[in-house]
């Protein structure tokens, strides 16, 4: 399947029979703590804030500027979560913006009942330019954050050096090598 034939909205991820990989970028303090504990611990992680997870490696690179954007996003973490957790997040989500025709009261009620926000943003290429199809990101709050840090996470890995390596290949215009170094993200099936 060529990129131009991807559906407009499709979850693509690196996954196996047990877990699905998502990415987040954090400061050194939060990343070091997460790697030590293999989950996010408060402090320095703030459970009361919405935390955004992204299955797309290149969308994470766009958001974090390859880990060079600012001190709060220096470290790129790959977090392996359970399929059951990801399914729960999808089932308890709402869009990050109201649907056309939705009243303000309806929108507030939907947000109140939904601890997860879904946002579809343009997927990115190796130069971080937008593509014509979209990648999902999920904002976790309240109960979703508690489940994420307490139940879903099966492993956390620092992939900052890999991100910097791929970025170096892109800067040197070694695009075939850069592309082959990317995670092998595949369409995510409805496996449950």
Q: Can you name the residues that pair with 91 across neighbouring β-strands? A: none
pLDDT at 1: 38
**Nearest alpha carbon to residue 10 among 170, 176, 190:** 190
**Nearest alpha carbon to residue 2 among 131, 117, 113:** 131
pLDDT at 2: 42
pLDDT at 184: 96
pLDDT at 4: 54
Burial of 1 (0-12, 13-18, 19+ CB in 10 A): exposed
pLDDT at 5: 67
User: Tens of pLDDT along the chain (192 residues)?
Assistant: 345 567 888 899 999 999 999 999 999 999 999 999 999 999 999 999 999 999 999 999 999 999 999 999 999 999 999 999 999 999 999 998 888 888 888 888 888 899 999 999 999 999 999 999 999 999 999 999 999 999 999 999 999 999 999 999 999 999 999 999 999 999 998 644
Give the number of other Cβ atoms within 10 Å of residue 63's Cβ.
Answer: 20
């Amino acid at each position: 399947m060529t990129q131009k034939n991807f559906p407009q909205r499709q979850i693509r991820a690196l996954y196996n029979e047990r877990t699905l990989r998502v990415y987040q970028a954090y400061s050194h303090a939060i990343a070091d703590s997460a790697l030590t504990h293999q989950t996010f611990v408060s402090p320095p992680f703030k459970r009361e804030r919405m935390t955004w997870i992204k299955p797309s490696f290149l969308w994470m690179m766009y958001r974090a500027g390859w880990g060079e954007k600012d001190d709060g996003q220096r470290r790129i973490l790959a977090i392996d979560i359970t399929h059951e957790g990801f399914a729960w997040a999808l089932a308890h989500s709402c869009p990050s913006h109201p649907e056309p025709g939705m009243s303000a009261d309806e929108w507030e009620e939907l947000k109140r009942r939904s601890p997860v926000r879904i946002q579809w943003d343009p997927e990115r290429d190796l130069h971080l330019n937008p593509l014509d199809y979209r990648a999902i990101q999920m904002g976790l709050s309240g109960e979703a954050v508690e489940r994420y840090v307490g139940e879903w996470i099966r492993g956390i890995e620092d992939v900052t050096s890999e991100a910097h390596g791929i970025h170096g290949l892109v800067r040197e215009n070694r695009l075939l090598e850069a592309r082959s170094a990317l995670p092998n993200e595949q369409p995510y099936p409805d496996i449950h």
